[in-house]
Amino acid sequence: MAGLFITFEGPEGAGKSTQVRLLAEWLREQGRAVLTTREPGDGGVVGAEIRQLLLHHHDMTPEAEYLLYSADRAEHVRTVLRPALERGEIVLCDRYLDSSLAYQGYGRGLSLGWLRAVAEGVTGGLKPHRTFLLDLPPEVGLMRFDSRDRLEREPLEFHRRLREGYLELAMAEPERFVVLDATQSVEAIQQSLRSFLASML
């Protein structure tokens, strides 16, 4: 594939969507073709309906939750991500497989091996070229919300496990992950992102 696949990960309140938007604006100013997308929900009509289930349906087993995320990811990879990468675009994706490993693996306690096996079939092995992990304590991130969806209302200990999981994933793949301190200002984080991406381009 000729494109560049960049993902953004992190706990609730890390500011991923803001950074994706600002980075996309900067890249377009440089004349780059950029696609911004997110998971769950950007896999067409199917993805949008799955997103509503995931964010608002409370009575769900961890296995069902992960398989719904995987169904959304299957649609997303086939209908959005791969076509954009084949067109040579830079894809900025707010959450991808690492979110599932953190939330359903470290958070819910499901087997990382099983999660990865399902993901391999769903994604066809599509991995990001670079993953930016916006890291911050959950106590800080959760304070940034006035209202919360189903996942954001999980106990604090759940969110602590997520953070630990993300950091473990980053340590296991240092060539792919870039960990950024999300307690910094929006401007400081954005400058770091631009510097890293400029070195890749």
Q: What's the order of all strands across the beta sheet hosting 90-94?
A: 34-38, 90-94, 4-9, 130-135, 177-181
Q: Which residues make up each annotated binding site for ATP?
A: 10-17
H runs (alpha helix) in the chain: 16-29, 44-56, 62-76, 82-86, 97-100, 112-123, 138-141, 156-172, 186-200
Question: Do the Cβ atoms of 72 and 39 come closer than 8 Å?
Answer: yes
Among 112, 82, 78, which Cα is nearest to 97's?
112
Residues in the chain: 201
Q: Which residues make up each annotated binding site?
A: 10-17
